Each structure stands twice: as structure tokens, then as C-alpha cells.
């Protein structure tokens, strides 16, 4: 990555911004030159307001779109000039109509909800003979209550007391009683006893609507609700019509507005003089020639482009595409590599599926995982973290199938002898020492790669002693592995073992002499490779559980239909639980081995993603 500075005439600023935006190769940064800050285009406020309105309208219409619905035929639109675009955007009546219809629908729904509440209240007094229009007097007050069936026994004495001194109209309902109490306005404690009974709820009588008997009030409110419901349906029909006829057109206009908004606001990061502007940013070195050529054409040669020497950390360029892109997304969620250090993503891509596949290692579980991951990927947002995890999971599911085939595991059963008689694979139970050795060797290999990356990073940053200490650490691991293999397992001759042990000791001493910081890692150089043995442990545990499930709950028709069905359900559920446990442990432990044991040897992280000045179009194109 290279930081550059472009200086041009202010009269050419808009054309330069447009060209840089079309190219999409430069990440614009605020210049640190001691000059006056530039200002955004004067069209920005109007465009920003329109972006908000269009975004709101399209968000509303999204709820009324049918799956797969398209407006056909549909032609892409060209990007007009800013003032023409503003006029075009303001002229789309569907936007204002959508916002008005949605506001009307919301108001109608609120009113319908209120009517439902009042109708429910009025229905409590149907059959009581009460006329709400007469509940007015100079000396009397009227309160309405709902008493639940459970509370009626406790409330009855209070109601009885009130009926002796005041007027009480009771109406039994399905859930209790509804009562209207008339009492002297000056008697402030008249209903105090009743209101303190649990299960007694005071309700407010809506004055404007409750102007007749309960039966007539219910009827009139029902008629009004029917009218408002029709109006609400008409509003929804209008929104559905816009969603069908105007949705893609509105999206195309919003896209053009968004493009223009980005361009209009870009100059906030510029510097200026009375006649020139200055823009700075990061770009890939390979793109410099192309940018220079386009600037010549755009400004007719009236510009200057220079490379800037700076200590500023360049942004990190993430270049993987296709099925490998989700690994970049996962690294971005964890911590992006800095632009001045080696990117470990490729090693993660290679090792993580292997670790995961070994820990689950069953063809049946792998096929089930593949379909489950495919389903999650299909149902989640393409740019979301869950979608990336699901796509990585699909790759790992293939690794599960591969290692399940090698270990002859099909939901715990061995089937290779029926499919490929000459290949039965390895046996987790019989070949445990071999699997353990392989997993530890995986660990040693990855730790050595991590230390080598650390050597490259330290050397490039000028930390020579630390860089050499990383090499001596690699020598200590390699020599120690040979020494241990020869001494404990007889893999190497006595002479080779002794020489390797001596070299290992010398390497450790050299590491201590070169770097106290690296010396503190010497103990971990022993423990970290051994921690890879967890691959064997979790893989073996999954296999043993599958075998136990098969032994105890394999369905058999000879036991009868009912036992067969019962054991089938238990068999499927237990294998599903075992699969989920294996998947969970595979993800957690596989990630841990990479992020802790591997990354800790060299990785700094904390990089900032390269975000070029660019807008990816879907509905429009540039002229």
C-alpha cells in the first residue's frame, strides 16, 4: 500500500471526485497539511434529506414485497448531474405517498386498538340496563369497576356496604362482575375499601363515545371500527401497489442519491487554497499508474500526484474472494492483521478444517452438518457474521466426511468394508497412539510455522535479536521433538537422540541469551504442542459416545413395532446430541488452537480494513 497526494484545480474538483469514486481504488484520509479545510458540495443537505426519505419509504415497502417479486422489464438508469438528480428524486410521487399511507395506517391501527378496548369495556355492561349518557349529576360521582371472579368473594362485603348507602349497578360477566357505583362527590372515602381489594380494577368511562346504553355504544363503536378497518385495508393496498410497481425504481433513485451523497461529502477530508484542492489517501501500488492516467484525462493534465513517505500504518487489504471470503470476515470479527505483519489467514484456512474434521470425524455427522450449515447460510444475511460462520462450517463439514471415511465412522458404524472392501481405514480405539502422535506433530508443525512468522515480523520491524531468538526457539522445538521421540519411542538411534538433546539445550540457552521476552515462552514451547492432543481426546470421546449409542439403542424390528419406534427416536436424538457436542467442541477447540497456540507466536492484530472510496451499484450505472 502507498499513500499518495493529488493536487488539482478547484474547478476540476467535482470531476476528480467522480473519477476517483468510479475507480474505487483509493481510501481517502484527512490530510495533515497546514492548510484550510475544504467543505462539502452545497447540494449535500438536499441530497441527504432525500436519502433519508427514500430509505424510510423503501424500509416500509420491504414489508409488502413478495418473495422473488421483480418489476419487469427493468432497465438500469444513468447517473444524472446533482441538480437534475434532486429534481428527479423530488418528482417520484410514490415516496411521499408511501410515507403518508404508512402514517395513515399507523394512525388507523392505533384508533382501531382504542375502539377494541372501548368495545370490550362497553360489553361488560351489556344487559345491565345502564345508560352512560345519564351518568352525570351535580352532587354525584360515578366510578366503574371490574371485579375478577376470584376477587368477588372478597369484594362482595364492600359492594354490599356501598349498595346500602350508594347506588350500585352490577352486571355479571363470564370472568366476574362489572359494577358502576354512584356516590356523593364530597365523600372522598366512599369507594376506598373496594379499591383496596386485590382483583378489583377501576376503569375510566370514555366520555365522548359512551353516550348511550351499552348495547348502542357497542354497536356504534363496531360500525366505526368496520369503517376504519376498510380504510386501513385501502392503505395497505396502496402500499402493496407501490411495493409492486415502484420499489425497484425507488431503489435505483436511492442508489443514485447515495452515490451523489458520498461524492458530495468526500471533500470534507480535503484541504484547499483559493484555487486548488488537495486530497490524500491510500492506494495499492499496482494501481498508481492507472490513477495517474485517469487523472490526466480528467483534468487535462492540470494536476500533480506524488507518493508520500509516512510512518502512518497503512490499512489492511483483504483480497480473498468466493468461498474463501468468509474466512476474511471471521478474521475481521476477531482482529484484522496489521498491514506490516504477515497475514495468518491462509494457515487458519488450512489447519482449522483439519482440526475440526478430526475432532468430529463421522461421515453421518458430516453430511448432517453440511445440510444444516447450508440451511443457515441460506436463511441469514449474506454479509453477516452468522452467514460467514455457516459457510466456513460447510467447508469443515467436508473435512468431517473425509476424516469420517478415513476412520470408518458412519454414525458410529463401520461401513467401509461394504463400500470399499480393500479399505477399512484407521481405528480410533486400536490406533490411538498413532492418532495422538499425528495430532502432536500437527501442533509442532503449526507452532514452528508461527515462530517462523514471528521471525519474519520481528526482522522486518528491526528487532534483530528477537528475530534470531525466534529461530533458536524453532531449533529448540525441532531438536526437542527428535530427542523425545528417540528417548521414549525409539524412533531415532541413540547417537541422533543425544545430539538432538544437546542441540535442544543449546538452543534454549541461546534463546535465553538473545531475548528475555522470548525466554519466558520456552515453557510454552513444550506445553503448546502437547495441547494439540486435545484433538485426539475430543475425537476419541465422540467416537466412543457414538459406539455406546449404537450398542444400547440400535433399533431392531425383532423386538416389536413399539420398542422399535421408541428406540429409533432415542437413537436419533442421542446421535443428534453427540453431533452437536462434537460440532461445538470442534469449533471452540479448533479456533482456540489457532488463535492461542498459533497466533500467540507472532500475531499483533488490530489492523484497519482498507475501505476504498467506492459504491457498488445494482440498479444504475455511470455515464
The band of 333, judged by pLDDT with boundaries at 50, 70 and 90, is confident
Spatial distance between the Cα atoms of 52 and 167, rounded to a whole number of angstroms: 59
Across the chain, what does the average pLDDT equal?
85
Spatial distance between the Cα atoms of 4 and 288, rounded to a whole number of angstroms: 9
Mean predicted confidence (pLDDT) in 223-232: 94
Nearest to 110 by CA among 207, 231, 215: 231
The DSSP result for 177-194, as a single string, is EEEEEEEETT-TTTTHHH
Segment 390-406, tens digit of pLDDT: 898 899 999 999 999 99
Answer for the pair 262, 26: CB distance below 8 angstroms, yes or no: no
Angle of helix 385-406 relative to helix 363-379, nearest 10 degrees?
170
C-alpha cell at 498: 543425544
pLDDT above 90 coverage of the chain, percent = 30
Segment 344-356, tens digit of pLDDT: 888 889 888 988 8
The gap from C-alpha 506 to its chain's centroid, in whole angstroms, comes to: 50
pLDDT of 68: 53
Spatial distance between the Cα atoms of 316 and 337, rounded to a whole number of angstroms: 7
List the Cα angle 239/241/246 in 5-degree steps: 95
Give how far Cα 595 sits from Cα of 28, 57, 115, 280, 585, Å.
32, 44, 59, 35, 15
pTM over 0.85: no
Segment 260-295, tens digit of pLDDT: 999 999 999 999 998 999 999 999 989 999 999 999
Q: Is the pLDDT of residue 235 over 90?
A: yes
**DSSP label of 318:** P
Nearest to 383 by CA among 343, 318, 330: 330
Question: Nearest 5°: phi and psi at 87?
Answer: -65, -45
Spatial distance between the Cα atoms of 100 and 97, rounded to a whole number of angstroms: 5
- Structural domains of the chain ordered from first start: 2-92+246-308 (no CATH), 116-223 (3.30.70.240), 322-601 (no CATH)
Answer for the pair 318, 328: CB distance below 8 angstroms, yes or no: yes
Q: Report CA Rg, the chain.
A: 38
Range name among 52-61, 516-525, 579-588 with the lowest pLDDT average: 516-525
CA dihedral 238, 243, 245, 246 (to 10 degrees): 100
Q: Is the pLDDT of residue 253 over 60?
A: yes
**DSSP label of 141:** E
List the Cα angle 511/443/584 in 5-degree steps: 135
Mean predicted confidence (pLDDT) in 605-621: 88
Nearest to 403 by CA among 385, 428, 384: 428
pLDDT of 87: 93
Amino acid at each position: 500500500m502507498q499513500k499518495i497526494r493529488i493536487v488539482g484545480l478547484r474547478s476540476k474538483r467535482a470531476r476528480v471526485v467522480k473519477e476517483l469514486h468510479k475507480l474505487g481504488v483509493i481510501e481517502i484520509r484527512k490530510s495533515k497539511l497546514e492548510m484550510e479545510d475544504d467543505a462539502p458540495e452545497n447540494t449535500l443537505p438536499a441530497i441527504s434529506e432525500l436519502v433519508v426519505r427514500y430509505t424510510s419509504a423503501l424500509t416500509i415497502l420491504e414489508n409488502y414485497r413478495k418473495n422473488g417479486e421483480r418489476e419487469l422489464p427493468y432497465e438500469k438508469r444513468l447517473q444524472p448531474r446533482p441538480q437534475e438528480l434532486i429534481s428527479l428524486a423530488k418528482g417520484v410521487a410514490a415516496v411521499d405517498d408511501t410515507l403518508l399511507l404508512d402514517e395513515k395506517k399507523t394512525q388507523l391501527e392505533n384508533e382501531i386498538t382504542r375502539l377494541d378496548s372501548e368495545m370490550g369495556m362497553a360489553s361488560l355492561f351489556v344487559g345491565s340496563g345502564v345508560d352512560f349518557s345519564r351518568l352525570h349529576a351535580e352532587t354525584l360521582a360515578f366510578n366503574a369497576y371490574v371485579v375478577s371472579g376470584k376477587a368477588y368473594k372478597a369484594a362482595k362485603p364492600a359492594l354490599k356496604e356501598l349498595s346500602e348507602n350508594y347506588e350500585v349497578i352490577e352486571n355479571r360477566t363470564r370472568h366476574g362482575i362489572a359494577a358502576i357505583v354512584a356516590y356523593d362527590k364530597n365523600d372522598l372515602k366512599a369507594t376506598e375499601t373496594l379499591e383496596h381489594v386485590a382483583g378489583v380494577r377501576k376503569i375510566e368511562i370514555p366520555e365522548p363515545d359512551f353516550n348511550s346504553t351499552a348495547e348502542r355504544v357497542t354497536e356504534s363503536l363496531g360500525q366505526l371500527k368496520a369503517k376504519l378497518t376498510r380504510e386501513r385495508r385501502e392503505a395497505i393496498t396502496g402500499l402493496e401497489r407501490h411495493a409492486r410497481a415502484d420499489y425497484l425504481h425507488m431503489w435505483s433513485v436511492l442508489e443514485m442519491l447515495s452515490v451523489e451523497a458520498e461524492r458530495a461529502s468526500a471533500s470534507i477530508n480535503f484541504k484547499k487554497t483559493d484555487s486548488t484542492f488537495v486530497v490524500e489517501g491510500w492506494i495499492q501500488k499496482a494501481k498508481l499508474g492507472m490513477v495517474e492516467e485517469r487523472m490526466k484525462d480528467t483534468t487535462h493534465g492540470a494536476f500533480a500526484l506524488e507518493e508520500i513517505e509516512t510512518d502512518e500504518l497503512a490499512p489492511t487489504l483483504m483480497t480473498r474472494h468466493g468461498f474463501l471470503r468468509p474466512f476474511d470476515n471471521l478474521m475481521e470479527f476477531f482482529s484484522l492483521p496489521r498491514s506490516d505483519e504477515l497475514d495468518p489467514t491462509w494457515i487458519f484456512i488450512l489447519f482449522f478444517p483439519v482440526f475440526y474434521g478430526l475432532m468430529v470425524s463421522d461421515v453421518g455427522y458430516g453430511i448432517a452438518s453440511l445440510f444444516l450449515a447450508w440451511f443457515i447460510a441460506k436463511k441469514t444475511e449474506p454479509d453477516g457474521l452468522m452467514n460467514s460462520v455457516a459457510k466456513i462450517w460447510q467447508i469443515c463439514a467436508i473435512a468431517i466426511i473425509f476424516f469420517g471415511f478415513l476412520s470408518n465412522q458412519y454414525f458410529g458404524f463401520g461401513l467401509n468394508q461394504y463400500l470399499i472392501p480393500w479399505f477399512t481405514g484407521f481405528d480410533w480405539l486400536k490406533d490411538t497412539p498413532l492418532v495422538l502422535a499425528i495430532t502432536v506433530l500437527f501442533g509442532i508443525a503449526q507452532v514452528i510455522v508461527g515462530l517462523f512468522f514471528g521471525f519474519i515480523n520481528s526482522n522486518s520491524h528491526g528487532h534483530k535479536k528477537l528475530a534470531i531468538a525466534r529461530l533458536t526457539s524453532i531449533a529448540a522445538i525441532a531438536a526437542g521433538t527428535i530427542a523425545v521421540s528417540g528417548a521414549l519411542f525409539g524412533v531415532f538411534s541413540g547417537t541422533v537422540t543425544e545430539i538432538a538433546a544437546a542441540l535442544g539445550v543449546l538452543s534454549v540457552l541461546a534463546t535465553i541469551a538473545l531475548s528475555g521476552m522470548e525466554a519466558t515462552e520456552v515453557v510454552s514451547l513444550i506445553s503448546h504442542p502437547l495441547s494439540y492432543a486435545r484433538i485426539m481426546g475430543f475425537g476419541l470421546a465422540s467416537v466412543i459416545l457414538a459406539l455406546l449409542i449404537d450398542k444400547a439403542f440400535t433399533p431392531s424390528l425383532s423386538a416389536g413395532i413399539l420398542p422399535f419406534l421408541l428406540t429409533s427416536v432415542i437413537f436419533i436424538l442421542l446421535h443428534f446430541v453427540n453431533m452437536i457436542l462434537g460440532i461445538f467442541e470442534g469449533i471452540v477447540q479448533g479456533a482456540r488452537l489457532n488463535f492461542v497456540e498459533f497466533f500467540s507466536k507472532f500475531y499483533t492484530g488490530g489492523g484497519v480494513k482498507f475501505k476504498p472510496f467506492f459504491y457498488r451499484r445494482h440498479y444504475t450505472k455511470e455515464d
